[in-house]
Structure 1
Amino acid sequence: MKFLAFKKKYIDVKLILLLAGFYTLFNLVYFLKLAYIRAYASKEVLTPWSDIIFHNLIYDWFIVVIYMSLIAVSTKRLLNKRYSWYKIFLLHTLFSILIGFVIRFVFDVQGILFGRMKFSEYSFKASIDRMMYVIELNFLIYFAMIFIIYTYYYLKQVKEAEIQRSQLESQLSNTRMKMLSSQLQPHFLFNTLNSISALVDIDTKKAQNTIADLSDLLREILYSGENYKVSLSKEIRMLDYYLNILNLRFSDHLKLKKHIDSKLLDRLVPALILQPLIENSVKHGYSYRHTTLVINISILKKNKFLILKVANDGKHLPQEKLNIFEKGVGLKNIRDRLFTLYGEKAKIIIRNRKEKGVETIIKIPISQTH
């Protein structure tokens, strides 16, 4: 299992085939050059073609392709760990020299094993001399293949970013439409408008504020742009419009408490992520035995992660409904967006609390500020 996970994360078969194809082309050019020299230029005693093909080209091809495949894997790990560029350059310079030692060592061992050279005749100095004779060629070949590796990873990253952007646009659009649909449902508008109507003669100012909240809420959903992430302060501001309307609708039957670290207000969070959690708490929290509801919204930092938690003290969810985010459009959309934005680093958990109520926890890496 660990090998399969490593292979999926670091080993790219297409890249290895690309490197093998490049070095095959290089060897083909070298072979054609050698054939021309042997036919038209050289008058010396020539090495048999069988030795050149099998003992030079084929062995050399396998050594270089295997070595560069390992370099491709190492490069992917270096990129994932975000090493500085000068450290990466120094490492590759070292590897470009090391490849000559590797090739020479394998050739010497192969020569001894197949009887082309006696061990007693082996000279380390002569081996180093032969390596130094082609060191600049090894250097150029190595960095040519490194250029292929980095270009491949860059183009792949650009393609993945474009796919991610397309997915996020679709997911964010679905979120907006879902939220807009839920707010435009007749019962929501009728209840809100009836509450406003009842307030007009009793508390004109509060009625005006509620109209403003409803207007601002719908405006934020419709016209807040296609930003995939927004500052936490902006997300809280939009949430407040919704919470104000909920407070009006449910009056004394709903209490909303917020515990938000003010130092995190400029951090980035996925747009429109909190309201569906509140909506879900209201929808599933009330019951005949739970006619009042307290919803706690807490946002804090833990290590390098941002923790967003929405908890209520209403009824427990049956076990079969705890995977509601797999079925419900709103929460499933949140899960999909989190995966698109952060991959496996993001987590979403829905669980019953010990005594009563349900809590939803979202854990995301802390994003850089604007």
Structure 2
Amino acid sequence: MKLTWFSKKFLDWNLVLILAGFYLLFDFVLIAKVAYMQYVMLPARPFSWASFLFHNILLDYVIVVSYMTIIASSTKRFLYKKYSWAKIITFHTILSFLIGMVIRLVLDFYSIITSQQGFADYNFSESVYAFMYVIDLNFLIYFAMVSIIYTYYYLKQVKEAEKRHIKLENQLVTTRMKMLSSQLQPHFLFNTLNSIAVLTDVDAGKAKDTIADLSDFLREILYKSDSNCISLDEELRILKYYLNILNVRFSDHLTINREIEESLRYKKIPALLLQPLIENSIKHGYSYNHTDLVINISVFSRDKKFVLRITNNGESITETHAELMKKGVGLRNIDDRLKNLYGKDYFFEIRNMQPQRGVETLIEIPL
């Protein structure tokens, strides 16, 4: 149980496999070098492949990988405790020399217990010479593998930090969208209730129908309250209830035409996008000189963008787009949501049409 806990906390087996793979690659290069030296450069020199592969490759491989596994677990502890770089470099410099000693001592001990040489025949000076002969190579190999260890842990920390950052951003987006949605729904509700209040004095039957449409509308948006984006088809279905309310209120003085590209019906768009735009077109379109209003809703794709275009033949606006954003709750809400969802990768503008009369609302978002 304790070993399992230690393994999970201080040992990363993916890192061990990377280190083992790196040193295996080094051994393949070494074998190729020895083969070249034996069969091209020194053909007459006696040589045993079996002894070389077992002692110089297999035993050395097991010792180095085991040693570096211990170093990897120690390095993770260093990162947790946040030691200074001076201490870490000093520690690894000492261990880089120690690895050569460990390899040498293990190989000497193995040769004694397998009776390849007697203890009396053991020559310490030759062992030191063998250690010093490859000390620079051991130093370079050790620090190459330590660099792999630190790079691995660094990239892992960067990826974990990115995941946390993305998670926090998503949570922030969701929180903002809920706040904006909670702001928008009462705004629409108050306007609709005012319309119903007017209808109750004019036509009680129509007022009841309007209340039914309002009920259906609210049911739809409440079911979608946790969704930042919904399909265009769902948005059009929600819009239908709102248009029924408008038709009761404005009767024959309002005509709404829709031209929808069928391939876009299941594309995701910000929820409750169309209703405040239609409301704005009516609010600014009707005037004393424009009592009959025609609103055209066009949805199409252009240059890998989802384009929503709403035009009316009503009164021209006298304010700029920026001024409209400051005044209208619904319009400002739309702009905030688009910015929240797409950053700078969107276009939203309300402007007068030229040369024909009327106002155009244009939104472009990524497909």
Residues paired across the two proteins, number:
251
Mapped pair 1:258 → 2:249:
no
Task: Tell whether the 8 Å contact from 1:180 to 1:221 is kept in structure 2 after alignment.
Answer: no
Q: Which residue in 2 is equivalent to 1:108?
A: none
Provide the secondary structure at the position in 2 that maps to 1:301: strand
**1:350 CA displacement:** 0.9
TM-score by length of 2: 0.61
Distance 1:195 1:303, change over 3 A: farther
Give the equivalent residue in structure 1 for 2:167: 158
Structure-2 residue corresponding to 1:300: 300
Change (3 A) 1:192 1:232: farther
Counterpart of 1:285 in structure 2: which amino acid?
G
- Paired with 2:137 and 2:298, the residues of 1 have a C-alpha distance of 66
2:233/2:266 contact within 8 Å kept: yes
- Quote the RMSD (CA, aligned, Å): 3.1
How far does residue 357 in structure 1 lie from its aligned partner after superposition?
Answer: 1.3
Of 29-38 and 165-174, deviating more is: 29-38
- CA shift, 1:212, in A, is 3.2
Aligned-partner SS, 2:159? helix
Sequence identity (%):
37
Cα offset, 1:225, TM superposition: 2.9
Aligned ranges 1:184-333 → 2 under 5 Å:
184-185=193-194, 188-194=195-201, 196-197=203-204, 200=205, 210-320=210-320, 323-333=323-333
Inter-CA distance 263–320: structure 2 relative to 1 (3 Å threshold) = closer
Of the three residues 75, 79, 89, the one matched with 1:30 is 89
Structure-2 residue corresponding to 1:14: none
Distance of aligned partners of 1:222 and 1:191 in 2 relative to their CA distance in 1, 3 Å threshold: farther
**Bigger Rg, which one:** 2
Q: Cα offset for 1:22?
A: 9.6
The C-alpha deviation readout for 1:185-221, integer Å capped at 9, x for no partner, is 3xx1123445643xx5xxxxx8875553233123334
Deviation digits for residues 302-359 of structure 1, max 9, x if unmatched? 2322111211111111144663023311110111111111111122111111121111
The unaligned stretches of length 5 or more in structure 2 are: 1-78, 102-135
Q: Determine helix, strand or coil for the equivalent of 1:179.
A: helix
- Alignment of 1:357 with 2:364, yes or no, is no
Task: Give the aligned residue type for 1:138.
Answer: S
Partner AA of 1:347 in structure 2: F
Deviations 1:273-325 (A, max 9, x none): 11000001101111122111110111112232211121111111114466302
- Provide Cα deviations, 1:151-203, integer angstroms capped at 9, x if missing partner: 11111111111111111111111111211222223xx1123445643xx5xxx
Shift of 1:251: 1.8
Matches within 5 A, 1:80-159: 132=141, 134-159=143-168
| Aligned residue number for residue 347 of structure 1 | 347
Question: Where does the alignment leave 5 or more consecutive residues of structure 1 unmatched?
Answer: 1-19, 43-126, 201-205
Give me the whole-angstrom Cα distance separating, in 2, the residues matched to 1:321 and 1:225.
28
Query: Is the 2:96–2:139 contact (alpha carbons within 8 Å) kept by the matching residues of 1?
Result: no
Q: Secondary structure at the match of 1:287?
A: coil
Residues 274 and 22 of structure 1: is their aligned pair in 2 closer, same or farther, counting only changes over 3 Å? Answer: farther
Of the candidates 158, 183, 187, which is equivalent to residue 192 of structure 2?
Answer: 183
Q: Which amino acid aligns with 2:160?
A: T
Cα distance in 2 for residues equivalent to 1:37 and 1:263: 64
Q: 1:142 to 1:228 in 2, by over 3 A?
A: same
Kindly indicate whether residue 181 of structure 2 is the aligned counterpart of residue 172 of structure 1. yes
> What is the one-letter code of the residue matched to 1:163?
L
CA distance in 1 between counterparts of 2:137 and 2:282 reads: 76
Calculate the TM-score normalised by the size of structure 1.
0.60
Q: Is the 8 A contact 2:184 2:330 kept in 1?
A: yes
Distance, in Å, in 2 between the alignment partners of 1:219 and 1:274 is 17
- Residue-by-residue CA offset, 1:55-108 (whole Å, 9 max, x unaligned): xxxxxxxxxxxxxxxxxxxxxxxxxxxxxxxxxxxxxxxxxxxxxxxxxxxxxx
The answer to whether the 8 Å contact 2:96/2:143 transfers is: no
CA contact (8 A) 1:259 1:297 kept: yes
Given that 2:199 and 2:207 are in contact with CA atoms closer than 8 Å, whether structure 1 keeps it comes out as no
**Whole-angstrom CA distance in 1 between matches of 2:340 and 2:321:** 24
Q: Distance in 2 between matches of 1:263 and 1:24?
A: 59
Contact kept in structure 1, 2:321 and 2:351, CA below 8 Å:
no
